[in-house]
A and B are shown apart, each in its own frame.
Chain A
């Protein structure tokens, strides 16, 4: 006898809060779309400040992602594969920025890299380099906040990957570095890609650490989120248009990640 799959009815005590939850998450976005001044969309987007903020945001978020990849992938490997002592402490330290209020991160960066900071004063005296309130500061702030997302994602992929492939590579004469490049990295590529997208999205939306450490100067440190916040006080319509742009970018990100998060069965993630 074949059993039919019965869809379970949702109990009311679960259904009601769930419905409220969906409304809570979706309504603000719908409100944003409803209040969008579609007729003036073009003129708002053409404002020089908008293009400038968007370009700065995209460039700095991409640079932050690149930095995160360069540092974060090796870090994830160390956390997932190496036998070094104090790994759990290291992991905790690395993930602190995930739970730390970004403003605190900004203050901390300022204290270290500011003109009077521990490293900042040395940089200033030795090379004449000042970091705060520059585009470099934007990238650093975004990297600080976003890199843990990449590290966590890549570490998860590394832990899930079958280490026996690395054994096979070793028996075929591959050293550890070659094995990493030729076998491990390709196997966890989907995880690295997902982590990079997540990292990029987080960097793009970064506000607190950026405004604290890099300030809010149009053209050099005023990224989209900062511009939105500023516009909301001066020109709400412009703020809505800018928000809409960020919303679209977020949706595009979600689309990139849909295989991973929306449970579509794509290629099996290593």
Chain B
């Protein structure tokens, strides 16, 4: 494990993260092989690799599993709105659990606290154009964290002004009508793009519903069971040998599956 924030390594924008220092203050990586030095005699700060491949058994870079419970980014009110919102995007119905029941709110919360939430890896230098071409993609300076904070506040403000109630007090049908209005850009939120808010929540909901359960969503592999994705079973040669037949084994995630017990 290399990071405690529920994310894969990557605090620095593009450098390979080093494992935590050992007692001697020397990084584990630098001890892997005599040929893999971080500092050369000439003073270059680089990873020098020569003569042997610098890997050793049992070294890998796993993500830290998300532990559900509480929120690291959302306020209680924000979490309640997101819960209600994602429950309409992917409802619990006869086909199984929806996004809220699959833990998608926790997934989004943990994602927002990591590099994704700050667009840490993206090109965020200005100037930011106010009238980009539709073909030029992302051009907003707002990070996902800002999109949620400002967008959810704008949504609550809109609901209070329009319905004299908050989003979570609306009836499901009212929520659906409002969400459809956000999606089409027909609802004008105060000082925030309704489409941007819809796209952020909708995109992250799909991710959380179908991502490996290690990230806090897709609880009990609800998303994978909906479509019949077996997860990370790794070897499907038998499927190729038996064309057009249903696959019957249950899904497996990076941490195994619930029937295997806690890990």
Q: Do A and B come from one complex?
A: no
Question: What is A's interface to B at a CB cutoff of 8 Å?
Answer: none
